[in-house]
Structure 1
Amino acid sequence: MDRRHLLKMLAGLAVCPVCSATGFAAEGAHWGYEGEAGPAKWGEIDAANKVCAIGSQQSPVDIAATVKSQLPALKPAWGKTSDTIVNNGHTIQLNFAEGSTLKLGDTTYKLVQVHFHHPSEHLIDGKNFPMEAHFVHRADSGGLAVVGVLMAEGKPNAAFSKIVATMPATEGPAVKADTNIHPAELLPAKLGYYRYPGSLTTPPCSETVEWLVLTDPVQVAAADVAAFAKLYPMNARPVQKSNRRYVLRSS
């Protein structure tokens, strides 16, 4: 095992607390966002990723026509529980200790981690945003709820600025994060959202995700977006077919 693969394995084991529940690939066939290891090949490069190619509820999607619905209000109860931060070779990921939750209807999910994509993975009426944050939550049942936050350039965001200032410049094991990072600061003032059933947007593309994409973007500094882009110029999966899935929009 070469040093690069060893680092990938260590980083994955240290920072992927949902791996066992969802099959996140910490080690195995190399995948990426370009060329022979890119999204079009994910289903071929590893048998564990087959659903990336044949799944019927894949993410992300282009959110266009929506159905206005009486959806339950999102009730995030997130504390300053930042634990570790890692450059895992695919993104920057901030992991959280126990104590932060999301209430969705009768189900309570635990906040596990947040990671970032440049540009955004979800589109709104064919338009993408400079970046997107994915807050991954897991219920005791193993189900996942991911809150997608679209990120637009504008006013600096305190939490994202701290993440950018402390993110590891190279791939490697997780390190201690700034404990002053408050994840709720990465949320817009209003928590209206789009909801649809989907998948992980990285291998193995498991179709186990309740997607909750906020309708309002959050503003972040253009300089912080540029700093992230130096590490990851493009780490977004292309949009997938809706396959007649309805996207619900909270009233």
Structure 2
Amino acid sequence: MKFRLFATAVSAVVMTTSAFAASSPHWSYKGEEGPAHWGALAKNFAACETGHEQSPVDLAHAVKAEPAAIAFHWNPKAKWTEVNNGHSIQDNTEDGGTIDLDGKTYKLVQFHFHSPSEHAIDGKKAPMEAHFVHVADDGTIAVLGAMIEPGGKNPLFKTIMDAAPEKVGAEKTIGEADAAKLLPATQHFYRYEGSLTTPPCSETVVWTVLKEPIKVSEESIKEFQKLYDANARPLQKLDRRYILEN
């Protein structure tokens, strides 16, 4: 049962084509297929309704601690393909490199975007949020989240937004790119145990959310919001979990 759950979660973060969408229950961010109904759309979506470690959350009342830092081994020459998967703009790679976290190695497989941000920091949301998704050999997932705010220039972010396919299912080749150039200069962070923020909402995710936002141009944010301006799951209950911050 656990292996099946991991397999479903990995498929959800890796598969992005229209063929995958056709083979999975349709879900959206509004109406009868929106977040309030995800858990009823399919048996393997049940965690969206019944789970107790769901994401995103408000990163408030964090406990000062020394959570393990991420050791980055991303490939600066990774080759990326960008797709409009019907839920976001997502960039996929097969040679993204890895991270090490708490003695486990995770492979970088994709990053994608949400607007507004899915997480909040002390009740405040940002215009956008980036999620860098990593998968370990045992199927567990480590996601690095970063808020995106206007007020700066990020050439790689601009390239990604300029290339974003408008048609659902369409792909574009980005070529070589160093994803680390999207990240802010400092890496103070929050850490908690959570889930995928999209169906099947599998509770197999170690979340790290950076405190410092990525600063980009207002124009680039608007380019994304022309395609997706409301693709964020509502905040979930923290329940008995703790949020750690370094």
Q: TM-score, normalised by structure 1?
A: 0.88
Establish whether residue 22 from structure 1 lines up as the match of residue 10 from structure 2.
yes
Alignment match of 1:33 (pick from 25, 29, 36): 29
For 1:146-161, list aligned pairs within 5 A.
146-161=143-158
What is the rounded CA distance, in whole Å, between the counterparts of 2:116 and 2:7 in structure 1? 24
What residue in structure 2 maps to residue 218 of structure 1?
214
What residue in structure 2 maps to residue 141 of structure 1?
138
Contact 1:166-1:178 within 8 A present in 2 as well: no
Q: Report Cα offsets for 1:43-82 as digits up to 9, x if no partner.
A: 1122221110000000000011011111222222222313
Identity of aligned residues (%): 49
Contact 2:79-2:96 within 8 A present in 1 as well: no
Alignment match of 1:190 (pick from 186, 191, 194): 186
Contact 2:96-2:109 within 8 A present in 1 as well: no
What is the rounded CA distance, in whole Å, between the counterparts of 2:96 and 2:240 in structure 1? 37
List gaps (5 residues or longer) in structure 2.
1-5, 13-19
Give me the CA root mean square deviation: 1.6
Report the alpha carbon displacement of residue 195 of structure 1 after superposing the two structures with TM. 0.5
Q: Report Cα offsets for 1:209-228 as digits up to 9, x if no partner.
A: 00000111110111000010
Report the alpha carbon displacement of residue 100 of structure 1 after superposing the two structures with TM. 1.2
For 1:104-183, list aligned pairs within 5 A.
104-179=101-176, 181-183=177-179
Q: One-letter code of the match for 2:218?
A: A
What is the rounded CA distance, in whole Å, between the counterparts of 1:243 and 1:134 in structure 2? 23
What is the rounded CA distance, in whole Å, between the counterparts of 1:37 and 1:21 in structure 2? 19
Cα 1:177–1:204, aligned 2, differ >3 Å: closer, same or farther?
Answer: same
Of 72-81 and 226-235, the range deviating more from structure 2: 72-81
Cα 1:235–1:111, aligned 2, differ >3 Å: closer, same or farther?
Answer: same
Q: Report Cα offsets for 1:171-226 as digits up to 9, x if no partner.
A: 114332232x3210111111111110000000000000000001111101110000
Report the alpha carbon displacement of residue 134 of structure 1 after superposing the two structures with TM. 0.3
Cα 1:128–1:174, aligned 2, differ >3 Å: closer, same or farther?
Answer: same
The 4+ residue runs of structure 1 with deviation greater than 4 A are 18-21
Contact 1:131-1:225 within 8 A present in 2 as well: yes
Of 152-161 and 122-131, the range deviating more from structure 2: 152-161
Report the alpha carbon displacement of residue 23 of structure 1 after superposing the two structures with TM. 4.5
Q: Report Cα offsets for 1:100-126 as digits up to 9, x if no partner.
A: 111213112110000000010000111
What is the rounded CA distance, in whole Å, between the counterparts of 2:237 and 2:77 in structure 1? 37
Contact 1:162-1:178 within 8 A present in 2 as well: no
Report the alpha carbon displacement of residue 22 of structure 1 after superposing the two structures with TM. 3.1
Contact 1:74-1:191 within 8 A present in 2 as well: no
Alignment match of 1:228 (pick from 212, 220, 224): 224
Cα 1:59–1:141, aligned 2, differ >3 Å: closer, same or farther?
Answer: same
Matched residue SS, 1:178: strand
Report the alpha carbon displacement of residue 99 of structure 1 after superposing the two structures with TM. 4.5
What is the rounded CA distance, in whole Å, between the counterparts of 2:56 and 2:152 in structure 1? 26
Q: TM-score, normalised by structure 2?
A: 0.90
What is the rounded CA distance, in whole Å, between the counterparts of 1:146 and 1:241 in structure 2? 19
Q: Report how many aligned residue pairs link the two structures.
A: 232
Contact 1:194-1:213 within 8 A present in 2 as well: yes
What is the rounded CA distance, in whole Å, between the counterparts of 2:66 and 2:24 in structure 1? 42
